[in-house]
Structure 1
Amino acid sequence: MLIDFVGSLATGFGLMGIVLLVNRLILRNRIDRWIYPATVAFGMVAFTIWAEYTWPSRTITAQPQLALASENGEAVFYRPWTFIWPQVTRMTAINLAETRTHPDQPGMVMTQVVFIGRWEPTRGVVVIYDCVNNARADVVEGVAMNADGTLEGAEWFPLDADNPVLRTACAAVEEGNDGRASGA
């Protein structure tokens, strides 16, 4: 948050400096002085809106091991423009560096699902997806993987075939992830 605050201040005062130079050098002081604080305010608001709307792409770009699976937008009354263009506040991604398959169970994918929220700590959970039967099992205490890749003690949850996280995890293995999705 501190970086965004400093960035908005720098944008506001930088824009004011440009307007000041244009007013003094080109326009010969024809614009009233009220333009300077208005320019700072406009620059700060513009930077804040830009930062809020671009953080998902900047976050995923900064972490190339993540494959974006889904985004959740949110509209709030104190940002009326979000009713037209909802703002992404949460994302779900697959950690490609932690995606694996077992040689005896090629239809199953073990991966780390990463939950990223704006102004929230990033969380990750290990999940196994059954790409053939469209199901998910969370790897929690009491779940064990046998030598043949089957699970003991896992609770399987059925998923829709078009579930974005399931599709992203299965596609990551199908594409090969540059050799990362090899047997574990």
Structure 2
Amino acid sequence: MTGVGVEVLGVIAVGIGVAALLFASFHAIRKFGLDLPRWWIPAGIGIAMVGYSVWNDYAWYDRAVGRLPSGSEVLLVGHEKMPWAPWTYIAPVAVRFAALDPATIRGAADGIRQAQIMLIERRGQALVVPQDFDCADRQIRRADSQWTPVDPDDVAFLRVCQGASG
């Protein structure tokens, strides 16, 4: 099952659980002679389902980072604003990030360093991309690519080449 399918099942489970809880609560309240409006049950279910969905969107990043190998470092985080979720214009949601496990950094005999960069995307496939770093000439080569000059603020280059001679 895909990530979206699991999320839909989670929202449905929250809705069913809250429905049961509200129904039992309303039944108990009626035993005391109070009569609450019937629309409170579907309203409560809807609010709980939307609340769970919003929480799940914002909690995804921390859960994903928690599953990374020990010692891994997040290099970049991509945030998005979504029109169907207007609150993301105030607090954008993390939807992707790049991470580096320092244990994957290897030095080659010719002064080139190699590392595995993890690209994690919400509702997407996680990828591990091998990259070569020429710390002396400030160049980077992605898998199946040519050497290209590195941006001065490339966090992967800075992290992989820190302490490298050159």
Superposed pair shares fold, TM > 0.5: yes
Letter in 2 for 1:44: M
Kept in 2, the 8 Å contact 1:11–1:43? The answer is yes
1:157 aligns to 2:148 (yes or no): yes
Letter in 2 for 1:5: V
Change (3 A) 1:54 1:167: farther
Q: Where does residue 97 of structure 2 map in the other structure?
A: 91
The alignment of Structure 1 onto Structure 2 pairs a total of residues equal to 157
Which secondary structure does the structure 2 equivalent of 1:91 belong to? strand
Kept in 2, the 8 Å contact 1:67–1:168? The answer is no
Task: Compute the TM-score of the two structures, normalised by the length of structure 2.
Answer: 0.78
Residue 119 of structure 1, CA deviation: 1.8
Q: Where does residue 81 of structure 2 map in the other structure?
A: 75
> Greater strand share, 1 or 2?
1
Q: Distance in 2 between matches of 1:17 and 1:70?
A: 42
1:19 aligns to 2:22 (yes or no): yes
Kept in 2, the 8 Å contact 1:12–1:42? The answer is no
Change (3 A) 1:32 1:132: farther
Task: Compute the TM-score of the two structures, normalised by the length of structure 1.
Answer: 0.72
Larger deviation, residues 154-163 vs 43-52: 154-163
Q: Which runs of 5+ in 2 are unaligned?
A: none
Q: Distance in 1 between matches of 2:35 and 2:101?
A: 56
1:43 aligns to 2:34 (yes or no): no
Kept in 1, the 8 Å contact 2:29–2:35? The answer is no
Find runs of 4+ consecutive structure 1 residues off by over 6 angstroms: none
Q: 2:133 aligns with which of 114, 129, 142?
A: 129
Residue 98 of structure 1, CA deviation: 2.8
Q: 1:167 aligns with which of 154, 158, 161?
A: 158
Change (3 A) 1:170 1:51: farther
Residue 45 of structure 1, CA deviation: 1.0
Q: Distance in 2 between matches of 1:169 and 1:17?
A: 53
Q: Distance in 2 between matches of 1:99 and 1:127?
A: 10
Q: Distance in 1 between matches of 2:127 and 2:154?
A: 20
1:8 aligns to 2:11 (yes or no): yes
